[in-house]
Amino acid sequence: MKNVTIYTDGSARGNPGPGGYGTVLLCGKHRKELSGGFRRTTNNRMEILAAIAGLKALTQRCQATIYTDSKYLYNSMMKGWAKRWRANGWIKSNKEKALNSDLWAQMLELCEKHAVEFIWVKGHAGNQENERCDALCTAAAQRPRLPADQVYENGEG
């Protein structure tokens, strides 16, 4: 199994507002950068989507290490929150609806295809690849004519 390192970041201007995600994949000598954005979304949705984009880019089963500065993403995956939400019909322990269930469902499915570990890194602390992801997601959020995040805008997430 190949070892792939994935750095991720997401942002939304105004939160909610125009948002973007940035992803850097590293495997041996290979490097791939991904980014995208939506006209109205949230920071948390973009943080999750950055990791999803990285995992979707993998063409075979891999050992993936995802570096994120999002405690929401890190805790939801490493503490098993997202799995519990799914098992409970996307309801949290406080009986409230789990937000972003559409993205969590994709994330959990992708993590079942690959061996994935999440590592939290402090944002804006000089980590070169984390800073690159920040630049990618910021630029993506500023693109003209961004598409709609249909699930978010329809209140279905």
9 is catalytic: yes
Task: Identify the active-site residue in 80, 109, 117, 124.
Answer: 124
Three-class SS of the chain: CEEEEEEEEEEECCCCEEEEEEEEEEECCEEEEEEEEEEEECHHHHHHHHHHHHHHCCCCCEEEEEEECCHHHHHHHHCCHHHHHHHCCCECCCCCECCCHHHHHHHHHHHHHCEEEEEECCCCCCCHHHHHHHHHHHHHHCCCCCCCCHHHHCCCC
Kindly name the residue from 10, 22, 36, 157 that is annotated as catalytic. 10
Annotated catalytic residue within 36, 37, 54, 69 = 69
Has 10 been annotated as catalytic? yes
The verdict on whether 102 is a catalytic residue reads no
Asked about 124 being catalytic, the answer comes back as: yes
Candidate list 47, 129, 149, 157, residue with the active-site label: 47
Catalytic residue check, 69: yes
- Give catalytic status of residue 112 as yes or no: no
List the catalytic residue out of 36, 134, 149, 157: 134
The set of catalytic residues is 9-10, 47, 69, 124, 134
